Amino acid sequence: MKLVLDTNCFINARSTDTGLKEAIQQIMKAHQDGMVELHVSRHTLAELQVKPDAALKLAETFSVLPHWPIGTWSDQVASWEQMEGTWCDAERNDSIQEELSKLAKSGNDIRDRGAYLDALHVNADAFVTSDKQLVGSGPAKRIFEKFGLLAISPVEFLEIVKQNRSRRG
């Protein structure tokens, strides 16, 4: 399974005051055990670089996804050489991220939508985030129905991992 982890996953993995820490660490263990592939978007790395710490160091250990531009030039988090697609793709990507904004709860930001879009372009199986704007029951369902990429919380995904482990015995 190919997963893309959102910014908050890396923060939660290194936090001492979150109940999500264990779920993230278990997902990373599943990666070490070869059960899942973990990836990071340049949008996530850009968010973490604002306050470089252990969360950024952890994120930098995973495969970085190709960057598909959205928004204005000032919204970009990659160099020209790191960008994927054509101007037509960029126009389509912007439409997708605007639709994501409408499907999610208010308060979601362009970095989260960009990370989701990058995950969508690499045919990831899930976008793992604890952002309630994306993984609340309503938004997650609407987003999945529209784009076919699951937005799921770390705890919910951990349940899937546990089920797969029990099947492997």
Question: CA-CA distance, 169 to 119, in Å (whole number)?
Answer: 30
Question: CA-CA distance, 131 to 6, in Å (whole number)?
Answer: 9
Instruction: Identify the CATH assignment for 2-168 out of 1.10.10.60, 3.90.700.10, 3.40.50.1010, 3.40.50.1820.
Output: 3.40.50.1010
Model pTM score:
0.87
Domain chopping of the chain, boundaries: 2-168
Please give the structure tokens belonging to residue 158: 């951990």
The one-digit pLDDT tens for each residue of the chain (169 residues) are 899 999 999 999 988 766 788 899 989 998 999 989 999 999 999 999 999 999 999 999 999 999 888 876 777 777 777 778 777 787 888 888 888 888 888 767 778 888 999 999 999 999 999 888 888 778 889 999 999 999 999 998 888 767 766 776 6
